[in-house]
Amino acid sequence: MGTLKLENIRKSFGSVDVLKGIDLDVKDGELVVFVGPSGCGKSTLLRIIAGLEDATSGEVLIDGEAAGHIPPAKRGIAMVFQTYALYPHLTVRDNMGLGLKQAKMPADEITTRVGKASAMLSLDDYLARRPAELSGGQRQRVAIGRALVREPKLFLFDEPLSNLDAALRVNTRLEIARLHRELSATMIYVTHDQVEAMTLADKIVVLNNGRIEQIGAPMELYNSPANLFVAGFIGSPKMNFVDAARLKHDRFGQDGVKTIGVRPEHITVDPKAGTWQGSVMHVEHLGADTNLYLDSKEAGLITIRIFGEYRTEPGALLYATPDPAKTYRFDAAGQVMA
């Protein structure tokens, strides 16, 4: 079993309130991703769950048991950090087994566990090497292996892939997804990467300024953001926001509506007719898609994402038409309106 419950977790460093009341339920086997801007408290929350940091108030429950008095090593939690901090003088095998050896586990059990982890992580050929003889991706896999061998109830990952290059990130992301499936382990995963969050998570927790803005399945957050913050944070390129006052004479502007939101992928362009006319500021050809930045009189600067290649030049006049079924309306407090 590996369930986690956070009850009204608060954390202050001196007079600075970093976490302002976090409540969360993680079910056994779930992969929960924390996202949020830099400094919003993601790592602090992980460290509190792991027992490396004490909460100022509130309760961490692991498998229903209050963990406040349980030291980190006894919580059944393994944490994988952004910097993998392997011992340079130890082989891969010994790096992976060190924690177990320190816990006085019998040598044959250590060998079995390290063998199992190295097979899962395709590290069999590297067991005798030292960290300096490995690529960044291989080192990160060793760091994951070190967590795996402990067979924890709960895995905590703090941006484990952010030091890897793009191709390795993809591979290692798939690897983590596979591990999660095979182990049915409970995992909490912090990332800045939209794609990692959307593809790995059963459930995403959007944190901002020490509070939870919204919790939901990836497509729930994408389709039904609760507020401006989540709407702007989930999705890339980010959602366009237009001050509704600018659109007074437009069918989108309505009483009580402060902001209209529409995602770049929900706007079509046409050279002859449409809702908002504007001139092309900049074009980005991504291969599979084209991003257009259109400076429009009514709506200001808007981003449009077009599937495939779209040929146009800066200065060209185009009309943009948002899909009315896929626009969002927000009130003055930034909350989404029905």
Ligand X SMILES: Nc1ncnc2c1ncn2[C@@H]1O[C@H](COP(=O)(O)OP(=O)(O)OP(=O)(O)O)[C@@H](O)[C@H]1O
In the complex, the residues that contact ligand X under the rule CB under 6 A are 13, 18, 36, 38-44
Using CB under 5 A as the criterion, what x/- string covers residues 2-41 for binding Mg ion?
----------------------------------------
Q: Residue 118, interface with Mg ion (CB under 5 A)? A: no
Judged by CB under 5 A, how many residues of this single chain contact Mg ion? 1
Q: Is 191 helix (H, G, I), strand (E, B) or coil?
A: coil
- The separation between the first and the last C-alpha atoms of the chain, rounded to the nearest angstrom, is 39
Say if residues 56 and 212 touch (Cβ distance below 8 Å).
no
Amino acid at 110: I
Say if residues 287 and 278 touch (Cβ distance below 8 Å).
no
To the nearest whole angstrom, how small is the minimum distance from the Cβ of residue 98 to ligand X?
Answer: 26
Q: Which of the listed partners (ligand X, Mg ion, none) does 306 bind, with a CB threshold of 5 to 8 Å by partner kind?
A: none
Distance CA 221, CA 204 (A): 8
Calculated CA dihedral for residues 151, 157, 163, 166, nearest 10 degrees: 90
> Toward ligand X, which CB reaches closer, 18 or 90?
18
To the nearest whole angstrom, how small is the minimum distance from the Cβ of residue 318 to ligand X?
Answer: 37
Report the candidate in 315, 325, 335, 312 with the shortest Cα–Cα distance to residue 252. Answer: 325
List, in order, residues 6 or more apart from 53 with CB less than 8 Å away.
Answer: 11, 44, 47
To the nearest whole angstrom, how small is the minimum distance from the Cβ of residue 134 to ligand X?
Answer: 25
Say if residues 205 and 34 touch (Cβ distance below 8 Å).
yes
> Toward ligand X, which CB reaches closer, 43 or 290?
43
Q: Which of the listed partners (ligand X, Mg ion, none) does 290 bind, with a CB threshold of 5 to 8 Å by partner kind?
A: none
CB atoms within 10 A of CB 290: 19
> Toward ligand X, which CB reaches closer, 38 or 102?
38
DSSP state of 130: -
> Toward Mg ion, which CB reaches closer, 43 or 214?
43
To the nearest whole angstrom, how small is the minimum distance from the Cβ of residue 20 to Mg ion?
Answer: 17
DSSP state of 133: G
To the nearest whole angstrom, how small is the minimum distance from the Cβ of residue 104 to ligand X?
Answer: 32
22 pairs with which residues across the strands?
9
> Toward ligand X, which CB reaches closer, 41 or 131?
41
> Toward Mg ion, which CB reaches closer, 4 or 35?
35
Residue 89, both tokens = 């003088």
To the nearest whole angstrom, how small is the minimum distance from the Cβ of residue 174 to ligand X?
Answer: 23
Q: Which of the listed partners (ligand X, Mg ion, none) does 87 bind, with a CB threshold of 5 to 8 Å by partner kind?
A: none
To the nearest whole angstrom, how small is the minimum distance from the Cβ of residue 214 to ligand X?
Answer: 16
To the nearest whole angstrom, how small is the minimum distance from the Cβ of residue 80 to ligand X?
Answer: 14
**Which member of 43, 140, 227, 303 binds Mg ion (CB under 5 A)?**
43
Which position has the token pair 């006894």? 74
> Toward ligand X, which CB reaches closer, 41 or 97?
41
Residue 227, both tokens = 């507020």
Q: Which of the listed partners (Mg ion, ligand X, none) does 51 bind, with a CB threshold of 5 to 8 Å by partner kind?
A: none
> Toward ligand X, which CB reaches closer, 43 or 95?
43
**Exposed, middle or buried: residue 117 (CB in 10 Å: 0-12, 13-18, 19+)?**
buried
Residue 259, both tokens = 């902001």
List, in order, residues 6 or more apart from 65 with CB less than 8 Å away.
Answer: none
Q: Which residue is nearest to Mg ion (CB)?
A: 43
**Which residue ranges make up the site for Mg ion (CB under 5 A)?**
43
